[in-house]
Amino acid sequence: MSNNIIELKNISVAFDGQQIIENMNLYIRDKEFITFLGPSGCGKTTTLRMIAGFQEPDSGDVFFEGKKINGVPPHKRQLNTIFQRYALFPHLNVYENIAFGLRLKKTPEKEIKAAVTEMLELINLKGFERRNISSLSGGQQQRVAIARALVVKPRVLLLDEPLGALDLKLRKDMQVELKNIQKRLGITFIYVTHDQEEALSMSDTIVVMDSGVIQQIGTPTDIYNEPKNAFVADFIGESNIIEGVMKDDFWVEMAGHKFKCLDKGFGVDEEVDVVVRPEDVDVVPVDKAMISGVVTSITFKGVYYEIIVEIKGFKWMIQSTDFQAVGSTIGLVVEPDAIHIMKKSQYSGLYGDYSSFSEEFDELSVAEVDEDEEE
């Protein structure tokens, strides 16, 4: 027996003739924290709703512990959902909201009381039993939603952008809290988000999706260090994605310079996409540099300066703790382990150039939550 708790096989979904998910195959291991990460409309929420039972696939099968669960209604599935806007029952108080699932199961009142009290302790809301839902803050509502789902002891918890409506500080706290709850209870968390930082810091496994297709599955470090294509490289963190040519194993030419790298197995003179993370570029005097360019803008970010450098018509982003004046020429060094080579894909040339930086940044960070709901 494998320890896969959920399996998706050849899943396809279309709404109004528009393909939302295309031939998806995915295995989710028991007790892992897995995140579906992608921009709005990439099919991540639809995938989650399919696992929860709110959405049936047009073709393909969903398995739970090896058993096919297509057509099984949500209330008969051993998994629970945290909804985007919590979906707490406004006509019930905190206690009754949490007790909801237990009451449906006709649990004796004594056990309900014990379970709800335990949950309130877990989410740090002791003494809030009689409070109205509308009198709670966003973070408190969020925690009630978590308690309400966990009290029925699901095997799998589905979380649909649960922290989207919270402010930054609270979001960070809740990330830690969620991760702790997951570890303590030892149940599978399936998490949906468009926030790459959230995905990196919480997940055991990340599934990067775009246009209904899984782009890459891996651990956060894999995804960050070894992105499979330009889309993944750009979506996870900041990346300079430069067109290059493999000259030989371990040698790539880009920006007019031949760099030593750690990648092999490409054809000689094969065109590739080269990823260089902004934090992996060192600023040096021009005479000691591999390549050099002119600083076109610099922004203070607190820990570092974000510097945009134009090198042979391509704008690189680099992060450096030293100030560089706009207009000055600086030299750059890229070490072999800072270079990651990717095969050309449909995303080549679409991402990784910082000449239109500001708009791109806005688009990524303020991805609409609502659009996803439409899926």
**Using CB under 8 A as the criterion, which residues of the chain lie in contact with another protein when the complex forms?**
52-54, 73-75, 80-81, 83-85, 87-92, 96, 100-101, 103-105, 148-149, 152
CB 239 within 8 Å of CB 352:
yes
Return the number of the residue (34 or 149) whose C-beta is nearest another protein: 149
In angstroms, give the least distance from the CB of 204 to another protein: 24
In angstroms, give the least distance from the CB of 374 to another protein: 12
Given strand 188-193, what is the order of strands in its sheet? 79-82, 156-160, 188-193, 33-37, 205-210, 213-218
Given strand 4-15, what is the order of strands in its sheet? 18-29, 4-15, 59-64, 67-68
Return the number of the residue (100 or 357) whose C-beta is nearest another protein: 100
Given strand 251-254, what is the order of strands in its sheet? 257-260, 251-254, 240-248, 271-276, 339-343
Return the number of the residue (146 or 339) whose C-beta is nearest another protein: 146
In angstroms, give the least distance from the CB of 320 to another protein: 46
In angstroms, give the least distance from the CB of 178 to another protein: 18
CA distance 90 to 96: 10
Return the number of the residue (363 or 368) whose C-beta is nearest another protein: 368
For the chain, report the end-to-end CA distance as a whole number of angstroms: 34
Q: Please give the full DSSP string across 185-240, using - where no structure is assigned.
A: HT-EEEEEES-HHHHHHH-SEEEEEETTEEEEEE-HHHHHHS-SSHHHHHHSS--E
In angstroms, give the least distance from the CB of 162 to another protein: 13
In angstroms, give the least distance from the CB of 91 to another protein: 5
Determine the longest span between alpha carbons in the chain, in angstroms.
Answer: 79
* Dihedral angle sign, alpha carbons of residues 361, 366, 371, 375: positive
Return the number of the residue (140 or 345) whose C-beta is nearest another protein: 140
Return the number of the residue (150 or 276) whose C-beta is nearest another protein: 150
